[in-house]
Amino acid sequence: MLAVSGLAQADRIKDLAQVQGVRENQLVGYGLVVGLNGTGDKAPFTDQTFRNMMNKFGVTLPANVDPKLKNVAAVAVHAELPPFAKPGQTIDITVDSIGNAKSLRGGSLLMTPLKGADGKIYAMAQGNLLVGGFSASGQGGSSVTVNVPSVGRIPSGATVERSVPNPFDRGDTITLNLNEPDFTTAKRVVEAINGLLGPGMAYAEDAASISVKAPRDASQRVSFLSILENLEVKPGTEAAKVVINSRTGTIVVGQNVKVLPAAVTHGNLTVTISANPQVSQPNALSQGQTVVVPQSTVSANQQPAHMFQFGPAVTLNQIVQAVNQVGAAPSDVMAILEALKQAGALRAELIVI
């Protein structure tokens, strides 16, 4: 059982919140990877895309001619455009096969436009793929695959062609959005900013957003935010939670978990039924038949049960000590916590994943 405890430490506003409007944008595109060593796909859309590309270069393939593409694969290309990215800068891209290509290892992505949600082109991608996986097969049908060879990356594989406008330098205020909405944290952020800049400079809109009056000049606003994001604030403590992973047996208990007065006993009853068939062999001159006589043994074993007694307002440390003293297994702890929750004695949200 893992216990999350300790006093909350002061964090920078940079680590607690983000400036509204300053965000990444997703880009996606469709292209061709060429130069594969016979591991391409045979999808009909790959053939169509290849013909369209060749037409742009002045090469027309007859309709009844099968190009038999073995070293070409159709791929989806996606990337994230960082905030304030300017034309000429480069970003990393990920390339995924969308056909039945066996591997993209050794391939090169041809020029592929990357579009945003508005349909406009924001970057152009091209380059040699880096593939972390590989596959190999033998003539007898045996094969081995490590990682995923149909996915690759190209570091700095796309060049930004268009910047995304953002509201950073608009209006008289900026808004800070907390990563984890919390009324206490929002109140403390407002107090820290007003304590530095003066009363009325910041106010909380709700548990997630804090508005701050800011200069309109872009250069001054950059310096202003540099000061704000380095202010240290002690965030509010999280709500009491107990998270149980039933598959791995992992249990995480928050520091504010408390238990009302309760007593819990937990033990296991093991019933064992064993069959020991006996063979009945008649005498040689008795004209009898050899038969199997079933014989069963039933035994019951009651393992020692442990009694947990919790007083009023028991702390996390006391719960951990009580469980560790008896050497309870994670499954036992899960059963105890669920029983306390059903009895209304667990003052925490019980989350099972």
Rounded-to-integer distance, Cα 55 and Cα 53, Å: 5
Asked if residue 325 and residue 252 are part of one domain, the reply reads yes
Structural domain total, the chain: 3
Q: What pLDDT is stored for residue 10 in this prediction? A: 81
Asked if residue 178 and residue 58 are part of one domain, the reply reads no
Residue with structure tokens 């300017």? 86
- Give pLDDT tens digits for 194-244: 999 999 999 999 999 999 999 988 889 999 999 999 999 998 877 777 787
Residue 273 has pLDDT above 50, yes or no: no
Asked if residue 273 and residue 246 are part of one domain, the reply reads yes
285 within a domain of the structure (yes/no):
no
Contacts of 86 (CB under 8 A, 6+ apart): 160, 163
- Give pLDDT tens digits for 15-45: 999 999 888 999 999 999 999 988 888 888 8
Residue with structure tokens 């047996």? 249
Residue 315: which of 282, 291, 348, 342 has the closest Cα? 348
Band of pLDDT at residue 89, cut at 50, 70 and 90: very high
**Whole domain around residue 245: which residue ranges?**
241-280+293-352
How wide is the angle at C-alpha 323 spanned by C-alphas 317 and 329, nearest 5°? 135
The upper half-sphere exposure of residue 13, i.e. CA atoms within 13 Å in the direction of its Cβ, equals 24
3-state secondary structure 143-193: EEEECCCCEEEEEEEEEECCCCCCHHHCCCEEEEEECCCCHHHHHHHHHHH
4 within a domain of the structure (yes/no):
no
110 within a domain of the structure (yes/no):
yes
Asked if residue 153 and residue 29 are part of one domain, the reply reads yes
Chain CA centroid to CA 93, Å: 19
CB atoms within 10 A of CB 310: 19
Mean pLDDT of 66-73: 82
Asked if residue 342 and residue 268 are part of one domain, the reply reads yes
**Integer CA distances (angstroms), 76 to 67, 109, 302, in order:** 22, 10, 60
Contacts of 201 (CB under 8 A, 6+ apart): 193, 194, 212, 213
Please identify, among 160, 178, 202, the residue that sits at the C-terminal boundary of a domain: 160
Lowest mean pLDDT among 55-59, 133-137, 139-143: 139-143
Pair of tokens at residue 65: 């001619």
Residue with structure tokens 């919140």? 17
Q: What pLDDT is stored for residue 1 in this prediction? A: 43
Asked if residue 44 and residue 155 are part of one domain, the reply reads yes
331 within a domain of the structure (yes/no):
yes
The residues facing 71 across adjacent strands are none
214 within a domain of the structure (yes/no):
yes
Asked if residue 32 and residue 95 are part of one domain, the reply reads yes
Lowest mean pLDDT among 73-82, 94-103, 254-263, 323-332: 323-332
pTM above 0.85, yes or no: no
Mean pLDDT of 142-167: 83
Total count of residues recorded for the chain: 353
- Give pLDDT tens digits for 41-63: 888 888 888 888 888 888 888 77
SS3 of residue 225 by DSSP: helix
Asked if residue 117 and residue 30 are part of one domain, the reply reads yes
Mean pLDDT of 175-202: 92
Asked whether 245 and 351 are in contact (CB, 8 A), the reply is no
Asked if residue 131 and residue 99 are part of one domain, the reply reads yes
Mean pLDDT of 95-105: 89
Mean pLDDT of 148-171: 89
Please report, for the domain that includes residue 207, its CATH number. Answer: 3.30.1360
Pair of tokens at residue 127: 């380059």
How is 288-330 classified by DSSP, letter by letter?
---EEE--EEEEEEEPPPEEEEE-TTB-HHHHHHHHHHTT--H
Asked if residue 71 and residue 196 are part of one domain, the reply reads no
Asked if residue 334 and residue 254 are part of one domain, the reply reads yes
